[in-house]
Structure 1
Amino acid sequence: MPSSILAINGSERAGGNTDLAVAHAGRLIAARGGELQTIFLRDHRIAPCSPCGNCNSRLVPCELTDDMPALIERMRAADGILYAAPVHGFGLAHLMQIFIERAGVGYLRFDRPLANKVGGVIVTGRRYSDSSAHNQIVNNLLLNRMILVGSGFPVLLRNTDSTPGLNDVEGLDALERMLHRMLDMIQLLHRHQRIVDGPVLPLRDLNERVPRPRRGEHTPHRGDIDNVH
């Protein structure tokens, strides 16, 4: 089964630097026998968070009606998630900002379905604040218990030209390294899952709202269950 990676493209601009980066990523993944599908957030109806004010207390998914549930299901089905977004106004582009807010608060926080999926980040920009935008997305991946692979350097693709283009040689090298490591990790997880016939990593502590055991109380581990006769 080929490795399946889903790209979340948070750029408003068709044919811009972020689109070019994701397309390049797709070619690199295909060369390894993997598959990249892309969600262009600009093509979907995603409402910003409303003033309902109960996000921190509700126990069911968000009730706003838009395309978010279908997008979340596509994320659930993928082996890995590649987040790609440009820098706007010294921060994360608003499409990606709205998406990660709605996804996390409205859906992912209940059972953390992205836990143990492999994650990667691409940020495109002119010169400034790309590291800040990258750090924000990385923190979101960690919040969702994803597996973040390192490539030596963050994938920051810079272009000071007014014409979109992939001109950042070091950034492209970091992108290629990251994608290879994502695919390697996905394949490793697949092989191990076939051996143990179950999840490679235990899916415990997925919902931060569920009280954690007090000190001294026993939390069951996978081995405890496997060794019951």
Structure 2
Amino acid sequence: MTTGPLIVGINGSERAGGNTDLALGHTGSLIRALGGELRTIQLRDHRIVPCGPCGDCNSRLAPCVQQDDVAEIVEEMKRADGIVYAVPVHGFGLAHLMQIFIERAGVGHLRFDRPLANKVGGIIVTGRRYSDSSVHNQVVDNLLLNRMILVGSGFPVLLRNTLGTPGLHDAEGLDALDRMIHRMLGMIRLLRKYEDITGEPVLPLDDRNERVIRSRV
């Protein structure tokens, strides 16, 4: 029996009950209405150690030996059909929890065989007014680095709130979120249909371990 699309939401906010939490709660409602499932990972509830001074990330051929929860989170992401990264703007940039996570996950676990390749990705940025586009662009670069598939929704999902209390008041941002989720689930189902018909992924890769390839040159 075919199950509905599974989306993992990565919440990079330190604040429980804040704008980012509300945005992911709304996202879950949209996904469930379309026959999918959202599993949210709250980075604030996990132990994530910053990159250390070892300095061998560009030469090692095996995952990072740091003992924390990053490997477990990556395994959850690998089981998903799609991933939504949700993050607030802090200090005109990416909130530090998400920054630490994408660094550790990327150089410590994902760069060896790009296990997120061909998964459908989405991005939600919450903020007051400034630098949300810059933060969105940074996460886009990370998703492209991991060879994920980004579907256009017309506009980036930037949810702005200038009030002193959390809330989803940005009508244009919510409309963009709705369209992004519809297109994400549609793309996931299209990719599944292609693989069911052909027995092969729509975008096969033959260069998953970049470190091995470079060592052979």
TM-score when normalising by structure 2: 0.96
- 128, 142, 145: which is aligned to 1:143? 145
Match of 1:12 in 2: 14
SS in 2 for 1:203: coil
For residue 207 of structure 1, report the CA deviation from its aligned partner. Answer: 3.3
Separation in 1, partners of 2:64, 2:184:
31
SS in 1 for 2:31: helix
- Match status 1:118 vs 2:117: no
RMSD of aligned alpha carbons: 1.3
1:71-86 superposed matches below 5 A:
71-86=73-88
Separation in 2, partners of 1:213, 1:150:
37
Separation in 1, partners of 2:52, 2:81:
31
Match of 1:221 in 2: none
Match of 1:27 in 2: 29
Which amino acid in structure 2 is aligned with residue 161 of structure 1?
L
For residue 69 of structure 1, report the CA deviation from its aligned partner. Answer: 1.0
1:179-190 superposed matches below 5 A:
179-190=181-192
Which amino acid in structure 2 is aligned with residue 135 of structure 1?
N
Structure with max Cα Rg: 1
The C-alpha deviation readout for 1:95-142, integer Å capped at 9, x for no partner, is 000000000000000000000000000000000000010000000000
1:42-121 superposed matches below 5 A:
42-121=44-123
For residue 213 of structure 1, report the CA deviation from its aligned partner. Answer: 9.8
The C-alpha deviation readout for 1:68-119, integer Å capped at 9, x for no partner, is 1110100100000000000000000000000000000000000000000000
Separation in 1, partners of 2:61, 2:199:
31
Which amino acid in structure 2 is aligned with residue 129 of structure 1?
S
Which amino acid in structure 1 is aligned with residue 116 of structure 2?
L
Separation in 2, partners of 1:75, 1:123:
19
| Structure 1 stretch displaced more, 199-208 or 29-38 | 199-208
Match of 1:167 in 2: 169
Separation in 2, partners of 1:112, 1:56:
15
Match of 1:218 in 2: none
Match of 2:134 in 1: 132
The C-alpha deviation readout for 1:1-37, integer Å capped at 9, x for no partner, is 1100000000000000000000000000000010000
For residue 212 of structure 1, report the CA deviation from its aligned partner. Answer: 10
Separation in 2, partners of 1:66, 1:213:
32
| 8 Å contact kept, 2:12–2:88 | yes
- Match status 1:2 vs 2:15: no
Extract structure 1 runs of 4+ deviating beyond 4 A: none
Match of 1:222 in 2: none
| 8 Å contact kept, 2:113–2:210 | no
Which amino acid in structure 1 is aligned with residue 150 of structure 2?
L
Separation in 2, partners of 1:212, 1:61:
17
For residue 211 of structure 1, report the CA deviation from its aligned partner. Answer: 3.6
